[in-house]
Amino acid sequence: MSSDDRDVVIRARHLAKAYRIYDNQHQWLKQVLFGSRHTYYRSFWALKDISFEVRRGGALGILGRNGCGKSTLLQIACGMIRPTKGEIMVNGRIAPVLALGGTFDAESTGRQNVLIGGAVLGLRRAEILEKMDSIAEFAGIGDFMGQPVKFYSSGMRVRLAFAICAHIDPEILVVDEALAVGDAVFQRKCMDWIDAFRQRGTLLFVSHAAAEVARLCDQAIWIDDGRVREAGTPAEVIRSYHRALMVEKDDVHRFSASG
């Protein structure tokens, strides 16, 4: 393996992801019982052909309209779901703000979810307990740390998820539009932390805020209809993406499943 290959921490090759769409529960049951002989679902291809590389210390910004496949791509990168086709390699401890916030146990308290989330991300219990006060301070949700997560707002969930991810010493940070639900002060706090993280780690960053992509990232891809429509510098990709938003209608057919 060459030194260049060792520098690659994320490599995606021809990723594709299909979801099964059933018209009703009866069709799902028929697929379970008779699926070896007939198909009773339609396929929705969230990703169709995605390839890219991110080198150690790099920062990739991902742009695209809602429904283009950005979240599906991040879920594959985080190991939450498997691609239908293609392959992905991730080399390093990954801190997925998207994934962690979406898997909190609603009946458990914030502190209990810190213990669970920290363990999922590879920390020993003693390490998590040592960092607990710092995590609580970063999250800034006060007495709600002792309350069940089911009482949290979406912004509070993101605060807690980001606070956990910021304390596991990640090599790769995955951040998506979830930060947009936080208030301006917390967003600034997160961006300041990401700025510092960029000096030592690798970043996957999904955002509709082009200014943040341009500031934080050194490369970008624009995903359209499940494929990479353009890749290059953030300035180039953002310019093309914004031009398309102004002249191309939002096509609802991209949400259609094939028969």
Query: Residue 97 in contact with residue 153, Cβ under 8 Å?
Result: no
Nearest-5° Cα angle at 89, 84 to 90: 120
- Say which amino acid occupies 37: R
Average pLDDT by stretches of 10, the chain with 259 residues: 72 96 93 90 94 95 90 89 95 80 87 90 90 94 95 89 89 80 79 89 88 92 94 96 89 60
pLDDT at 255 (0 to 100)? 59
User: Distance (Å, rounded) from C-alpha 56 to C-alpha 64?
Assistant: 24
pLDDT at 103 (0 to 100)? 76
Query: Residue 208 in contact with residue 130, Cβ under 8 Å?
Result: no
pLDDT at 106 (0 to 100)? 92
- Domains, the chain, in order of start with CATH, read 60-80+92-255 (3.40.50.300)
**pTM higher than 0.85 for the full model?**
no
Distant-in-sequence, close-in-space partners of 114: CB < 8 Å, separation ≥ 6: 128, 132, 135, 136, 160, 164
pLDDT at 2 (0 to 100)? 47
Query: Residue 18 in contact with residue 69, Cβ under 8 Å?
Result: no
pLDDT at 41 (0 to 100)? 93
For residue 156, report the phi and psi dihedrals to the nearest 5 degrees. Answer: -65, -40
